[in-house]
Amino acid sequence: MTGALLLTSASTASADYVRDGQWPLTVYDAEKVWETSRGADVTVAVVDSGVDASHVDLTGQVLPGKDFTGSDNPQQDNAGHGTGMASLIAGHGHGANGAAGVMGLAPESKILPVRVDTSENNVDTAALTAGIRYAVDQGASVINLSIGDSSAYPGSKAAEAIAYAQDHDVVVVAATGNDAGTVSYPAALPGVVAVSAVDQSLGFWGKSNTGNVTVAAPGVQTPQADPTSPSGYVKADGTSGSAAYVSAIVALLRSEYPNLSAGQTINRLIKAASFLENKGKKAPDSQLGYGIARPGSALTMDIPAGPKEGPLAKASTSTNSGAASDGDDSKTQAKKKSKSSSGGILVIAGIAAVVVVIAILFAVIRSRRNRGNRGGGPGSGGGTPGYPVGYPQQPPTGQQPYPYPPDAGQSQGYPTPPGQPPRHGQ
| Per-residue CA distances from 181 to 123, 242, 253, 259 (Å) | 19, 17, 31, 37
The pair phi, psi for residue 287, each rounded to 5°, is -95, -45
What sign for the dihedral angle of Cα 21, 25, 28, 30? negative
3-state secondary structure of 227: coil
Contacts of 73 (CB under 8 A, 6+ apart): 50, 67, 115
Do the beta carbons of residue 167 and residue 317 sit within 8 Å?
Answer: yes
* Catalytic center residues: 48, 81, 240
Q: Which residues contact 344 (CB under 8 A, 6 or more apart)?
A: none
Strand 43-48 relative to strand 233-236, pairing: unpaired
> What count of Cα atoms within 13 Å lies in the side-chain half-sphere of residue 139?
9
Question: What size, in residues, is the chain?
Answer: 426
Nearest Cα to 116, choosing from 103, 105, 129? 129
